[in-house]
Structure formats: C-alpha cells, structure tokens
Amino acid sequence: MKIVLPGGSGQVGTILARHFHATGHEVVVLGRKPAPTAWRSVAWDAQTLGPWANELDGADVVVNLVGRSVNCRYTPANRREIIESRVRSVQLLGEALARSNRPPRVWLQSSTATIYAHRFDAPNDETTGIIGGNEPNAPDTWTFSIDVATSWEKALDAVHAPHTRKIAMRSAITLSPDREGVFDVLLGLVRRWLGGRSGDGKQFVSWVHEHDFIAAVEFLIQNDAMHGPVNIAAPEPLTNAEFMRVLREAWGVRFGLPAAKWMVELGAWALRTESELVLKSRRVVPGKLLEAGFKFRFPSWREAARDLCERWRQSASPVR
C-alpha cells in the first residue's frame, strides 16, 4: 500500500512509519520541516494546497496526525493554535481529496480518548460512553480539551468524501520505549524514585502498547465495516496508583514518592503544561474493536510494562 502520514514526524507517526516501511509499504510523511528518514518526507505547511496534494491521488490510506502539542499552558494563543491546527488540517485534506482522481479508500483521523467524561463509575465505550464537558466543577482547561476533541471530529464529519471510509481514532496514550515519549518520561520518574501516585491516584489511566496500536491501525485499514469513532485503548484501564505501582514493580523499584494534587499543579505550572494530563480520569475501553474480533497482544498493563521496561533496557546507552 501507499500510506500518507500528515504530521507523521512525532512519536506516534514515527511508530507507524517505521512499521509500515519495514513491512514493505510505501510511506510518505507530510511535515513542515522534512528530515532525512528511511521513508519519503514531503513538505507542506498544513494551511494551503500545494504539490503535496498529489501524494494523496492514488494513495491507499491517509493517517492524519496533525495537531499542535497539548503539552503546554492553555493560554488564549495556545488554545487558538491547538484547535486551528487540527481543524484546518482536516479541512485541507478534505479539499485535496476532492481534487483527487483516485482518493484514498481509508482516512484514519487522529482523535483522543480525552473526549470522554472524567468519571470513575463505569468505562466509556463508543456506544454508551459519556462525552465530557458537562462534569460538575470541571476546570475550564478540562472543558477546553473536550472542545478540541469534538471540533476535531466535527471537522472530519463535515468533509464530503464519498469514496473514502473515515474513522476517528479516539486513542489513549500510546506507549513505546522510544526516547522522550510518554513511557520514557514515566519510567524516568520511577527510576528517580518519584514514580508514586498523582493526586489521590484514583483517576483511571487508559493506555495502549505500541504493538497493539499498530495492529489496531492495520485492522481498521483492512476491515471495511469499521467507520466513525473507534476507541484505541487496551481493554483493561486501571487507576493511576495501580498503574504506577505495576510500573515500579516491572522496573524493580519498591518505592515511588507520591505527588499531592497541589504538587502536580505546581509542577505543571513550572513545566508550562496542564495538570489535566495527569489528573483527569480516562476510563476508556475498545468496544468496537473487541466486537469486531480484534485480539490484543497486551491487554494487561502488567505484561505491557514488563515488555516495555525490557526493551527500554536493551536500547539504553551505557551513559544512561
């Protein structure tokens, strides 16, 4: 297949590009600053049509991962950039598809599991899950994240693409041993004896191992019955306290200093990010994938954590 990855230079895009290139597919990453890679990179500004649009004509799959990082303070300027970068890229790809003689047969659009409500009582699947934004006493920053997710998906729904199957991937955090990824950051805390619970530790963590994320993407490409929003998350979310305890156990560390809510808030302010990334409860399950027969290689965090720790060790340089 020919697979086009707009915004594919980040962690998740690299995971997919690396896999699809290694398995013999033609991979094209669209990015603002193309860098030398084993696969092709093509320049675009994510704002206007240009020669890059020719890459979509005759491609089999487009996986749009464009979006300004949410790892920042939600200032008015950052909020505007976060939403506009996502919505405009969707609109732009829709314009390019409309001009294609042979548009891709599948469009996988990045979305987020954060779209669901902060809750503890029951898991959120695609059918019965509660979309967030109306939780009592929810901080404004949490409501903004819901606005981002819903605006993203509304933009996809608005694109007229009769020859292209569209899927919104409501993904949980994708964990791989790659440096500077989410797992690397979490493991860094554990290695420094700082990997305790955050806040009261009761908030749920939804996650997915990189191997299952890749397999889920392949499954969605191949299964013509799959469309609309699809949760990509391991079927066993767990509380933050348990998540960190299992990670400490997998690494071989008995203790992790907990961080009270005020400490999380202060740390987020110091790091110019938002505490929502840690404190919001994300209890998400992959209803559609399981119903369609998808099998997870790592459904449990215990096995996933052991695998990721071992692979991180194997790839670690001596100086680390």
Q: What is the mean pLDDT of the chain?
A: 94
**Would you state the pLDDT for residue 317?**
54
Tens digit of each residue's pLDDT (9 = 90 or more) over 21-53:
999 999 999 999 888 899 999 999 999 999 999
Hey, how many other C-beta atoms are within 10 angstroms of the C-beta on 315? 11
- Helical axes 240-251 vs 301-315, angle rounded to 10°: 40
User: Which tokens belong to 47?
Assistant: 């704002």
Span 117-133, mean pLDDT?
94
- Using pLDDT thresholds of 50, 70 and 90, give the confidence band for residue 270: confident
- Using pLDDT thresholds of 50, 70 and 90, give the confidence band for residue 320: very low
Under 8 Å CB-to-CB from 184, ≥6 apart: which residues?
177, 178, 312
Hey, how many other C-beta atoms are within 10 angstroms of the C-beta on 240? 21
Based on the number of CB atoms within 10 Å of its own CB, is 23 exposed (0-12), middle (13-18) or buried (19 or more)? exposed
- C-alpha span between 274 and 269 (Å, rounded): 7
- Using pLDDT thresholds of 50, 70 and 90, give the confidence band for residue 139: confident
**Would you state the pLDDT for residue 295?**
98
- C-alpha span between 320 and 316 (Å, rounded): 6
pTM listed for this prediction: 0.95
